Chains A and B, each alone.
Chain A
Amino acid sequence: MRSNPTDYQLVAPASLQAAISLLAAEPGGWLPIAGGTDVMVQYAAGKLPARRLVSIWNLPELRRIETLPDEIQIGAGCTYTDLREHASVQREFSLLARAAAWTGGIANQNRGTLGGNIVNASPAADSLPALLVYEAELILASVRGERRVPYKNFHTGYKKTKLAPDELIRTICLTRRFSGHLAHARKVGARNAQAISKVCIAALGRCAAGAVEDIRIAVGSVAPVPIRLTKTERLVTGKPIEASLIALARETAIAEIQPIDDIRSTAKYRSAVMGNLVAEFLQKLGAHESQI
């Protein structure tokens, strides 16, 4: 049943400071809303428990991308369109630009934000595997001050994060040290646009002297949170990419995910496809290495 707007309050502070002051006055009393691509869906379905919302859409402090010597700092309110069109993101963090380009359709990319994708904490979120492989850090803001935390520990369970009730994500920080890696991303869904993934992968790899020197593989929709395939990464590190290693990596990857049956797919399909995606990445990395 649709929600009645008269039951809801929405305010729009003009600055980040004003927004976090409001959160601090009544921690847990206000739900932040940015582009609304998740919150308004719950609202339309009559499933939004919060009754008081604070709009953080288009706050100037959250809508900047700054390229510093060591890292790129992305405001949490930047949209997928902002990300996919930004030259430094395209060049150095192509996994994030690609994830932004295949999230929803153009209209949702114009409204959905990176901070919102993180806080919504869906296991199927398209941008999150990229944040895992780039080892993103988050700057969280509240009236108590700011803290910087690694993204990998932030997402604690299905739809759960470490964000305190009085905090907002201000900035997502990515270290600029991956431009020498081969980047590989795939999303498997019912169609290219407007589909939530059945399985997705974001991976980086670099070889030296015929062997894997550094490898990072993150996957979505196959566990309660997006995860790094750390066992698979350890297995292949230091070894030359050969058919026997790819076969073992496929098995290792399947053993370290926990896919489920749901409306979008089955555990069996997800396992098979995940093994294929890992194998495809390793084959590509091996071919890339042999060309150098």
Chain B
Amino acid sequence: MTESSSPGNYALCEISFTVNGEVRTVRTHPMERLLDTLRHQLGLTGAKEGCGEGECGSCSVLLNGALVNSCLVPVLQAKGADIVTIEGLAGGAQLDRLQEAFLKCGGAQCGICTPGMILAAHHLLRRKPNPTIEEIREGLSGNLCRCTGYIQIFEAVEDAVRRRAAS
């Protein structure tokens, strides 16, 4: 336990941001991790807690378009930001092309890394619509998977690229 002499002595604050296109306001402590706000206050449990120290990428979200580890973001730093979580990627019942490709190629097994993998791939494809395999590997290198051995994941990203080109 932390050794503060007077725990809980700092005030709550009100923070607003946009999550998946919707303006949300939370009342919370400014040092709460964005990951916890998303999961516990907003019920968005797509972002997962893996390592809790920015190594595994399973808590990845997009913050103003940038891929970030939400376990390392104090929620106050998300004030006014535009946040996209995995829940915001699909259009209703229609899955995103990357989500479909992960299903088709076996890119998801236990599923813990999958939301982060898909957001990292989405972030990559917005910057590099036709990535090389090296660029795919680099773009996903901050997201760890203990099931697939990564090959099906890379194939899923390549499949999504091909299907976008064909559509």
Q: Contacting chain B: which of A21-29, A99-107, A127-135?
A: A99-107
**Bound Cα distance A45, B123 (Å):** 29
Interface check B162, CB cutoff 8 A: no
Interface code B28-49, partner A: CB below 8 Å = 1, 0 otherwise?
1111110000000000000000
Residues of A contacting B124 in the complex (Cβ-Cβ under 8 angstroms): 106
Interface code B69-81, partner A: CB below 8 Å = 1, 0 otherwise?
1011110110100
**Chain B's nearest CB lies how many Å from the CB of A10?**
4
**Bound Cα distance A4, B32 (Å):** 8
The B interface is mostly helix, strand or loop, or mixed, namely loop
When the two chains form the complex, which single residue of A41, A51, A81, A192 contacts B72, counting CB atoms closer than 8 Å?
A41
Interface check B143, CB cutoff 8 A: yes
**Bound Cα distance A57, B66 (Å):** 14
The A interface is mostly helix, strand or loop, or mixed, namely loop
**Bound Cα distance A36, B54 (Å):** 10
**Bound Cα distance A166, B159 (Å):** 53
Q: Contacting chain A: which of B2-10, B84-92, B96-104?
A: B2-10
**Chain B's nearest CB lies how many Å from the CB of A225?**
24
Chain A interface: which size bin?
35 or more
Known contacts A36-B77, A106-B142: does B53 contact A45 (CB below 8 Å)?
A: yes
From 94 to 118 in chain A, residues with beta carbon under 8 angstroms from any chain B beta carbon are 104-108, 110-111
Residues of A contacting B138 in the complex (Cβ-Cβ under 8 angstroms): 106, 193
* Count, A-B residue pairs, CB within 8 A: 121
Chain B interface: which size bin?
35 or more
Interface check A12, CB cutoff 8 A: yes
When the two chains form the complex, which single residue of A4, A46, A107 contacts B69, counting CB atoms closer than 8 Å?
A107
Interface check A158, CB cutoff 8 A: no
Contact between chains at B72 and A104 (CB < 8 Å): no
Known contacts A44-B52, A194-B142: does B4 contact A51 (CB below 8 Å)?
A: yes
Residues of B contacting A6 in the complex (Cβ-Cβ under 8 angstroms): 7-10, 29
Contact between chains at A110 and B68 (CB < 8 Å): yes
Contact between chains at A36 and B74 (CB < 8 Å): yes
When the two chains form the complex, which single residue of A4, A40, A41 contacts B73, counting CB atoms closer than 8 Å?
A40
When the two chains form the complex, which single residue of B10, B52, B54, B71 contacts A8, counting CB atoms closer than 8 Å?
B10
Contact between chains at A10 and B66 (CB < 8 Å): no
Known contacts A41-B72, A107-B68, A107-B69: does B77 contact A55 (CB below 8 Å)?
A: yes
Residues of A contacting B141 in the complex (Cβ-Cβ under 8 angstroms): 105-106, 192-194
Q: Which B residue's beta carbon lies closest to that of A9?
A: B10
